[in-house]
């Protein structure tokens, strides 16, 4: 049982990580993840859990973030009004003014020291009241060593040793830095939301000749909606009236328009360009393509990359260790070597201010989420940071053939009848055999025949896995399939040397002839293979159920390194296992298929990639990465985005740890004061967040 909650007002990434860990530790919870970018908590409860879901979640959240409101995602009307940012800015400006007055008093040599203390204390309380309150609440709950506690302890200590201006200045610069950091986070979240701006605002519901503007969630299957020019299609459906051009860029990343008319399928998230369309709804809002894509991208935060898991574990040990060092710096030298207490206490307090790992905890998830958002804008759905990270380590890419490297559009290109059979008789016999089959090859035979055989006169339809089909028509047993089927049935036949898929037909054990069907290679398949090799992919291979002649010819045309043909689904898994065994221990293997017929292979690969899955529920569910168009070259784009995202994430890790380490050393040596310590904390966080936003502009 999956539940989702909006954590309204969540602004602390470190607290978000702690909330996630606390929820995971509760009985009855299978898994939990906090998506900091969308302030959403997703929980998978055990089926046997029957407790107060909302109450439990509120208790946990309020332990770490007392001011955060917990709202059930299915009940957005329960959102509460939060105090606006305007009032906080006013308090910050007023506090800064009082702080400025204190600095002026300090410049006057005859200024009363008690008056200075009063002014700086007033500025401190105005600027740091929120921090002090949070620290006090957390202490009462037994939660220490968070940013609020460390900041409060450091500044109270500064007052204790007579450093009034520095204590107030720390709170001032902390508030300024926090304001800019929150602004950057809001812009980052908005940019990510814009990349996934598929959610419709309304639907024009047509009832009894009237058109009413309603919420998309209220529309039912079978209802008719009207989409005007310039409007976003709110729900999946079939065109009942009208024709138009659709902009599918939000789904596929492609700028080319798509023409639709009566009986064509339209998907939510596309934009109607010119004509007026009446659409019969085929899926509810929750099951629509737009809702599924939004859900996939938002849910991707639950599948974290190794770098994200590293930082979560690192921060658990880092902050307590640094706090312990701060105590040692403050107390050990005076006790052991007779140092000045005030001087070493000041150094320890500076150490405390620097210690919070917020820069890493905020920026790394935002970096991965930005990369996932940028990929979705290009029609590439990545289901988690772990899969985005895995794309960086691909060594082997294995392709299915039909529908992946080729168009999957089969046409009868040649009829080779046996003695005693005409072209028409051969085609008619094959059509009878294939009339109940849904395979694309069967469809090509039916298309060439041009009409539907009388099904009332056909019985005993049998599908022989990987070999062909059999029926009984007018008392005669008809077989249509590959050469393996002919040999198994002991039918003497003339094997064709034509290039293409061959259907051998037999009637009552007598060979009737061969039908040749061809499939065309996609325009960008060769380009895709070339790009992958240029990006360092060691091996490209193809697994197909097609015969060796066609498979070898296709592989040669595309410059593939390896090809395995004539494979049944279970044999594809065996070959994939063999290829997995050949790669290095750290390398990854991706399988690219259609997401429906290749589900076992997709599941076994390190990264399963569904090709051409626009609107296909099965493909979206089966794969780790979904390429929403029929272009294999999208995989190369996905690798580029993954590499760009990883570069940004590691820039943040190295930058944050480098600056923190340098300032910790300077603080211990007495060469950094509290003002500089605030930059090392808030300033580094701000710069890391701004750098993470670049991931959303990945090309």
Contact 237, 282 (CB under 8 A): yes
Pairing of strands 562-564, 539-543: parallel
Distance set, CA 259 to CA 233, 247, 253, 271, 414 (Å): 14, 9, 17, 12, 32
DSSP letter at 300 equals G
SS3 8: strand
Q: DSSP string covering 161-203, please?
A: TT-HHHHHHHHHHHHHHHHHHHHHHHHHHHHHHHHTTT--S-E
Contact 297, 381 (CB under 8 A): yes
> Most distant CA pair in the chain: distance in Å?
122
Q: In sequence order, which ranges of 546-683 are alpha helices (DSSP H)?
A: 548-558, 569-582, 599-604, 617-622, 634-669, 674-678
State both tokens at 85: 């940012």
**Sign of the dihedral through C-alpha 218, 224, 228, 231:** positive
Element (DSSP H or E) covering residue 312: helix 306-337
Provide the Cα torsion 174, 177, 182, 185; round to 10°.
-130
For the annotated catalytic residues, the residue numbers are 400
Q: What are phi and psi of 33, to 5 degrees?
A: -150, 140
- Spatial distance between the Cα atoms of 695 and 699, rounded to a whole number of angstroms: 9
Residue tagged 């709110």 (tokens): 234
């Amino acid at each position: 049982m999956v539940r989702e909650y909006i954590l309204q007002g969540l602004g602390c990434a470190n607290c978000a990580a702690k909330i996630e860990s606390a929820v995971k530790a509760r009985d009855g919870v299978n898994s939990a993840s906090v998506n900091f970018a969308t302030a959403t908590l997703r929980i998978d409860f055990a089926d046997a859990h029957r407790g107060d879901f909302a109450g439990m979640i509120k208790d946990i959240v309020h332990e770490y973030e007392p001011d955060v409101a917990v709202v059930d995602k299915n009940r957005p009307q329960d959102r509460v009004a939060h105090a606006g940012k305007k009032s906080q800015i006013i308090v910050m400006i007023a506090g800064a003014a009082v702080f400025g007055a204190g600095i002026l008093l300090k410049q006057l040599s005859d200024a009363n020291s008690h008056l200075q203390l009063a002014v700086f204390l007033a500025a401190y309380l105005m600027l740091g009241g929120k921090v002090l309150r949070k620290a006090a609440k957390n202490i009462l709950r037994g939660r220490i060593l968070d940013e609020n506690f460390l900041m409060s302890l450091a500044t109270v200590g500064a007052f204790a040793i007579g450093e009034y201006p520095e204590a107030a200045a720390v709170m001032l610069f902390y508030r300024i830095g926090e304001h800019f950091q929150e602004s950057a986070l809001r812009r980052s979240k908005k940019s990510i939301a814009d990349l996934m701006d598929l959610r419709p605002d309304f639907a024009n519901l047509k009832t009894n000749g009237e058109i009413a503007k309603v919420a998309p969630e209220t529309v039912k299957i079978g209802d008719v909606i009207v989409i005007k020019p310039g409007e976003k299609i709110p729900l999946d459906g079939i065109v009942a009236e009208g024709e138009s051009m659709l902009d599918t860029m939000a789904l596929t990343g492609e700028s080319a328009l798509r023409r639709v008319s009566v009986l064509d399928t339209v998907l939510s998230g596309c934009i109607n360009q010119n004509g007026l369309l009446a659409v019969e709804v085929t899926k509810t809002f929750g099951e629509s393509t737009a809702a599924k894509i939004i859900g996939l991208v938002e849910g991707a935060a639950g599948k974290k990359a190794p770098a994200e898991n590293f930082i979560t574990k690192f921060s658990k040990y880092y902050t307590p260790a640094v706090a312990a060092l701060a105590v040692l710096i403050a107390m050990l030298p005076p006790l052991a070597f007779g140092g000045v207490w005030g001087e070493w206490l000041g150094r320890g307090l500076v150490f405390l201010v620097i210690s919070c790992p917020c820069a890493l905890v905020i920026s790394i998830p935002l970096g991965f989420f930005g990369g996932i958002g940028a990929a979705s804008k290009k029609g590439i759905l990545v289901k988690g940071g772990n899969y985005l990270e895995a794309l960086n380590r691909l060594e082997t890419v294995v392709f299915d053939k039909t529908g992946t490297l080729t168009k999957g559009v089969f046409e009868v290109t040649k009829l080779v009848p046996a003695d005693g059979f005409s072209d028409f008789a051969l085609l008619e016999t094959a059509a009878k055999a294939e009339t109940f089959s849904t395979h694309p090859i069967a469809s090509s035979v039916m298309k060439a025949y041009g009409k539907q055989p009388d099904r009332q006169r056909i019985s005993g339809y049998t599908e022989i896995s990987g070999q062909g089909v059999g029926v009984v028509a007018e008392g005669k047993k008809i077989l249509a399939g590959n050469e393996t089927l002919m040999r198994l049935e002991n039918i003497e036949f003339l094997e064709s040397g034509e290039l293409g898929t061959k259907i051998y037909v037999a009637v009552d054990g007598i060979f009737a002839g061969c039908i040749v069907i061809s499939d065309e290679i996609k325009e960008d398949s060769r380009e895709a293979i070339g790009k992958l090799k240029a990006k360092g992919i060691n091996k490209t291979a193809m697994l197909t159920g097609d015969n060796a002649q066609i498979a070898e010819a296709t592989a040669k045309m595309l410059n593939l390194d390896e090809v395995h043909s004539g494979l049944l689904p279970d044999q594809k898994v065996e070959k994939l296992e063999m290829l997995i065994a050949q790669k290095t221990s750290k390398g990854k293997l991706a399988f690219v298929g259609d997401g429906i017929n290749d589900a076992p292979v997709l599941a076994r690969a390190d990264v399963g990639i569904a090709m051409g899955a626009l609107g296909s529920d099965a493909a979206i569910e089966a794969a780790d990465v979904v390429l929403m168009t029929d272009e294999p070259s999208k995989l190369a784009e996905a690798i580029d985005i993954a590499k760009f995202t990883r570069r940004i994430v590691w820039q943040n890790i190295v930058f944050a740890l480098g600056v923190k380490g340098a300032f910790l050393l300077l603080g211990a040596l007495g060469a950094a004061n509290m003002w500089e310590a605030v930059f090392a904390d808030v300033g580094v966080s701000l710069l890391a967040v701004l750098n993470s936003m670049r991931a959303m502009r990945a090309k």
